């Protein structure tokens, strides 16, 4: 036995292993697990092992879900959904509260089980994951209570399929199950094959609290089980996992009109400015990428440090790294636990090998016996090095330098992902400037990896779409209930007539042109097509490319601010009203009235769609800011061409986006004349671009274009399938607003604004210093 004085000398820790006997007894009692379907566990059939990655020991056998299992689970969920949705909000709230309480009562059990199955340090499971799981159920008990008053006119989606990864098994379950249930949906959840055990323990908690049978169903299995769930008749898929699988799911759902949210990979920047508190930033690296074996989608895996402080920062970083304790996950003094599986360990090591072969230098990061890798970082690494581009998903960061804030932003945004960012500077001006310019769904200022049920989480670009947490997370589990639904008009054939040669019936408008970059343009091929009342230009792919290019240059519109944009929209209303009779002759009085109404509506919203300041953790100010997406592609409805066009284009531009719109194929002339209204209303060039022609032929290249951030499509399910497939390539969200009366009240409102924006969640320290730590004594 060492003396205290000796321990003080060496600062060594003795082992302090959490007792796992209760969990092991439970596992021994269970033996082999079936699926949890319709409130009971099925008899196991084909099974596979789940192991403790730290020791390789088999913990349990679980069932491999088949298509039949998925079908049974979806049927149980379907049957349960009506009665579940028919409960009052308060009744649903009580069930969610009971789930929260039971999770809390079993915090120790669940933490140990999670640590055993996943390999993460018990400190992470106990201090972060499981308390957040309880927090999610409490928070959403609140949303269940408030659903009807806070989300009027919205209804649950139905049955939701949820597929989750292995890095936060129980926490991801809570992120997905709690909002779905609060909104009135039922779920079929598939946990990751490496880490199914806490989901099965949660199924038992559902039984204990008497959750109605079929409200939560859990089917275990691998990717094939997940793929069967994607194919099943569910109303939504919520997926967290790799970008590659997410892209495949988006393609598999093409044309189904089912809702999809994706939370995918990341390669998040961790930016350390010259004036940062370097010790705090080093602790940020520990929290962000080392403490959890780097198995976090939002880990700050690309450390970018100001050149002026780079040497000092690296000295502090490598010293701190040398003190990290890699070891048994259940030991309370372990910092870095086991990698989830040998396959994942090999993957991490092979990316590190490729990185060093391409010239980078690896500091630390040694592979150890079993599923362990010591923390490390890659330095002297070029931007195109595989270690810089690929998500390593292990405890290995990259370290590179920059000279100016502009360069830091450029490097931070030089990735196909956009999940999160961590920014370190003692200057509020510098830190918030970076937060505004970095393209990521979550930005932590002088902090890293903070999560809360009230704070929306989700990505930009190839990190996916949709948000989990808070009000926006709830909205992703609710649907509009349309009172004025009506079928879309069938398309008439488009056949080209050469420009200038078209026979000119009486009264024809021969001047109709495309509207690109604030100017009228002839279509690239020069052709026209016959439409009621004249001929319209027949645009092609090249016109779409030109229009997107013009839209991408209209960035200053976003920077103008809501008030300035509102003035332009009011002005459009005034100018449209001055020409009301002329537009009514092309369409109808009702359409023109609706069009003017839309201008007023979105002028009103332009400076009022505010975002929120949410109640997350004390000591932080958490702002949720709606940002424009950039360029939105819009394929407009065929019916009610003027009202349909403006009902979609105006909310998009009110929020600061630029649009490329394809007006009603059958009757585009009601819209081509709008260019005069836009010009006289001081709408900047490129904010609205109009390309007429065959809707579906234009919509596909528009949806596929890299510069287009989101696509809205009104049309047929075949057309939607083609658009979905084109958009899945670079993972952009597609919204297919249901056909409705475009002159009616259903054709405006916050739903449109929500689709026109994406949220950035910014965490700022706020009142976080302990009393007496201020610098001034007075």
**Would you please indicate which residues are annotated as catalytic (active-site) residues?**
263, 297
Under the binding rule (CB under 6 A), the answer on residue 223 touching ligand NAI is: yes
Is residue 430 within 8 Å of residue 273, measured between CB atoms? Answer: yes
Closer of 33 and 393 to ligand NAI (Cβ) = 393
Neighbours of 380 (CB within 10 A): 11
Contact mark string toward ligand NAI, 352..391, x via CB under 6 A:
---------------------------------------x
Under the binding rule (CB under 6 A), the answer on residue 393 touching ligand NAI is: yes
Question: Which stretch in 226-234, 275-283, 466-474, 530-538 sits in contact with ligand NAI by CB under 6 A?
Answer: 226-234
**How, if at all, do strands 396-402 and 376-379 pair?**
parallel
Under the binding rule (CB under 6 A), the answer on residue 492 touching ligand NAI is: no
Coil, strand, or helix at residue 348? helix
Closer of 215 and 238 to ligand NAI (Cβ) = 238
Size of the chain in residues? 778
Among 96, 132, 211, 227, binds ligand NAI (CB under 6 A): 227
Q: Is 19 exposed, middle or buried (0-12, 13-18, 19+ CB in 10 A)?
A: exposed
Q: Which two tokens stand for residue 382?
A: 């070029």
Closer of 263 and 287 to ligand NAI (Cβ) = 263
Among 53, 241, 365, 693, binds ligand NAI (CB under 6 A): 241
Smallest gap from residue 127 Cβ to ligand NAI (A): 20
Smallest gap from residue 316 Cβ to ligand NAI (A): 28
Residues in region 659-718 near ligand NAI by CB under 6 A? none
Is residue 399 within 8 Å of residue 377, measured between CB atoms? Answer: yes
For 396-486, where are the E strands, in sequence order?
A: 396-402, 420-424, 442-445, 464-465, 478-480
Smallest gap from residue 120 Cβ to ligand NAI (A): 13
How far is residue 191's CA from residue 171's CA, in Å, rounded to a whole number? 11
Q: How big is the site for ligand NAI, counted in residues (CB under 6 A)? A: 26
Contact mark string toward ligand NAI, 133..172, x via CB under 6 A:
------------------------------xxxxx-----
Closer of 223 and 370 to ligand NAI (Cβ) = 223
Closer of 388 and 530 to ligand NAI (Cβ) = 388
**How, if at all, do strands 154-156 and 478-480 pair?**
antiparallel
Q: Is 99 exposed, middle or buried (0-12, 13-18, 19+ CB in 10 A)?
A: buried
Neighbours of 323 (CB within 10 A): 9
Comparing CA positions, the residue from 595, 567, 574, 601 lying closest to residue 583 is 595
Residues in region 176-195 near ligand NAI by CB under 6 A? 190, 192-193
Helix (H) or strand (E) holding 472: helix 470-475
Smallest gap from residue 335 Cβ to ligand NAI (A): 21
Smallest gap from residue 612 Cβ to ligand NAI (A): 25
Among 76, 154, 245, 687, binds ligand NAI (CB under 6 A): 245
Closer of 298 and 659 to ligand NAI (Cβ) = 298
Is residue 421 within 8 Å of residue 300, measured between CB atoms? Answer: yes
Among 39, 142, 158, 226, binds ligand NAI (CB under 6 A): 226
Closer of 37 and 551 to ligand NAI (Cβ) = 37
How far is residue 326's CA from residue 72's CA, in Å, rounded to a whole number? 43
Smallest gap from residue 296 Cβ to ligand NAI (A): 7
Q: Which two tokens stand for residue 627?
A: 């940002």
CA angle 422, 133, 477 (to 5 degrees): 85
Comparing CA positions, the residue from 202, 177, 178, 230 lying closest to residue 117 is 202
Among 66, 242, 413, 588, binds ligand NAI (CB under 6 A): 242
Contact mark string toward ligand NAI, 263..302, x via CB under 6 A:
xxx-------------------------------x-----
Closer of 347 and 579 to ligand NAI (Cβ) = 347
Contact mark string toward ligand NAI, 631..670, x via CB under 6 A:
----------------------------------------
Buried b (16+ CB within 10 A) or exposed e, 513-547: bbbbbbebbebbbebbbbbebbbbbbbbbebbbbb
Residues in region 506-565 near ligand NAI by CB under 6 A? none
Closer of 89 and 441 to ligand NAI (Cβ) = 441
Buried b (16+ CB within 10 A) or exposed e, 209-242: eebebbbbbbbbbeeebbbbbbebebbbbbbbbe
DSSP result, 243-281:
HHHHHHHHHHTTTS--EEEEE-----EEEE-TTS-HHHH
Binding site for ligand NAI (CB under 6 A): 163-167, 190, 192-193, 222-223, 226-227, 230, 240-242, 245, 248-249, 263-265, 297, 347, 391, 393
């Amino acid at each position: 036995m060492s003396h205290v004085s000796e321990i003080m000398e060496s600062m060594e820790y003795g082992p302090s292993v959490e007792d796992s006997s209760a969990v092991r007894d439970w596992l021994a009692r269970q033996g082999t697990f079936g699926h949890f379907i319709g409130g009971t566990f099925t008899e196991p059939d084909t099974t596979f092992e789940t192991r403790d990655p730290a020791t390789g020991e088999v913990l349990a056998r679980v069932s491999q879900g088949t298509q039949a299992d998925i079908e049974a689970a979806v049927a149980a969920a379907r049957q349960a959904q009506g009665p579940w949705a028919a409960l009052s909000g308060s009744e649903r709230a009580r069930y969610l509260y009971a789930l929260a309480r039971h999770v809390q009562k079993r915090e120790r059990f669940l933490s140990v089980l999670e640590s055993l199955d996943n390999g993460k340090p018990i400190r992470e499971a106990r201090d972060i994951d499981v308390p957040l799981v309880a927090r999610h159920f409490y928070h959403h008990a609140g949303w269940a209570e408030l659903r009807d008053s806070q989300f009027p006119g919205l209804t649950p989606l139905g049955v939701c399929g949820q597929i989750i990864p292995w890095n936060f098994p129980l926490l991801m379950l809570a992120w997905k199950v709690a909002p779905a249930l609060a909104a009135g949906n039922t779920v079929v959840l598939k946990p990751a094959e490496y880490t199914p055990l806490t989901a099965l323990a949660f199924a038992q908690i559902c039984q204990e609290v008497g959750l109605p049978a079929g409200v939560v169903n859990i089917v275990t299995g691998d990717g094939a089980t997940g793929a069967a769930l994607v194919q099943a008749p569910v109303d939504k898929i919520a997926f967290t996992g790799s970008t590659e699988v997410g892209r495949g799911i988006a393609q598999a759902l093409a044309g189904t009109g089912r809702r999809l949210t994706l939370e995918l990979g990341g390669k998040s920047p961790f930016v350390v400015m010259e004036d940062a508190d370097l010790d705090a930033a080093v602790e940020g690296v520990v929290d962000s990428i080392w403490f959890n074996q780097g198995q976090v989608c939002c880990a700050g895996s690309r450390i970018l440090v100001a050149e002026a402080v780079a040497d000092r920062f690296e000295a502090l970083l490598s010293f701190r790294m040398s003190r990290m304790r890699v070891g048994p996950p259940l030991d309370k003094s372990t910092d870095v636990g086991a990698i989830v599986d040998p396959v994942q360990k090999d993957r991490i090591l092979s990316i590190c090998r490729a990185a060093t072969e391409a010239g980078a230098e690896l500091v630390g990061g040694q592979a150890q016996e079993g599923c362990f890798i010591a923390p490390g970082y890659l330095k002297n690494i070029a931007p195109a090095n595989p270690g810089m581009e690929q998500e390593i998903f292990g405890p290995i960061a990259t370290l590179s330098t920059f000279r100016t804030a502009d360069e830091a932003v450029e490097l931070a945004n030089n990735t196909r992902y956009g999940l999160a960012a961590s920014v370190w500077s003692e200057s509020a001006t510098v830190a918030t400037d970076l937060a505004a310019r970095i393209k990521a769904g979550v930005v932590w200022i002088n902090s890293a990896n903070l999560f809360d049920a009230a704070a929306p989480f989700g990505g930009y670009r190839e990190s996916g779409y949709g948000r989990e947490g808070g009000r926006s997370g709830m909205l992703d589990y609710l649907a509009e209930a349309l009172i004025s639904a009506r079928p879309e008009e069938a398309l008439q054939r488009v056949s080209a007539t050469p420009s200038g040669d078209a026979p000119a019936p009486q009264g024809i408008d021969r001047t109709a042109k495309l509207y690109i970059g604030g100017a009228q343009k002839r279509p690239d091929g020069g052709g026209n097509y016959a439409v009621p009342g004249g001929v319209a230009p027949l645009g092609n792919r090249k016109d779409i490319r030109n229009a997107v290019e013009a839209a991408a240059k209209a960035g200053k519109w976003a920077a103008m601010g809501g008030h300035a944009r509102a003035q332009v929209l009011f002005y459009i209303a005034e100018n449209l009203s001055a020409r009301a009779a002329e537009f009514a002759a092309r369409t109808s009085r009702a359409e023109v009235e609706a069009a003017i109404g839309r201008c007023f509506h979105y002028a009103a919203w332009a400076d009022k769609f505010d975002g929120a300041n949410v109640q997350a953790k004390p000591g932080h100010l958490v702002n949720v800011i709606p940002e424009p997406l950039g360029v939105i592609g819009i394929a407009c409805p065929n019916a009610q061409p003027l009202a349909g066009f403006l009902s979609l284009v105006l909310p998009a531009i009110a929020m600061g986006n630029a649009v490329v719109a394809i007006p009603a194929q059958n009757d585009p002339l009601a819209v081509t004349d709008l260019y005069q209204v836009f010009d006289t209303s001081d709408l900047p060039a490129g904010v609205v671009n109009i390309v007429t022609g065959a809707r579906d032929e234009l919509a596909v290249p528009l949806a596929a274009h890299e510069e287009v951030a989101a696509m809205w499509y009104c049309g047929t399910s075949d057309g939607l399938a083609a658009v979905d497939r084109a958009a899945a390539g670079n993972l952009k969200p597609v919204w297919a607003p249901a056909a409705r009366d475009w002159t009616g009240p259903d054709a405006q409102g916050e739903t449109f604004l929500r689709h026109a924006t994406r949220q950035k969640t910014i965490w700022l320290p706020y009142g976080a210093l302990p009393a007496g730590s201020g610098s001034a004594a007075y």
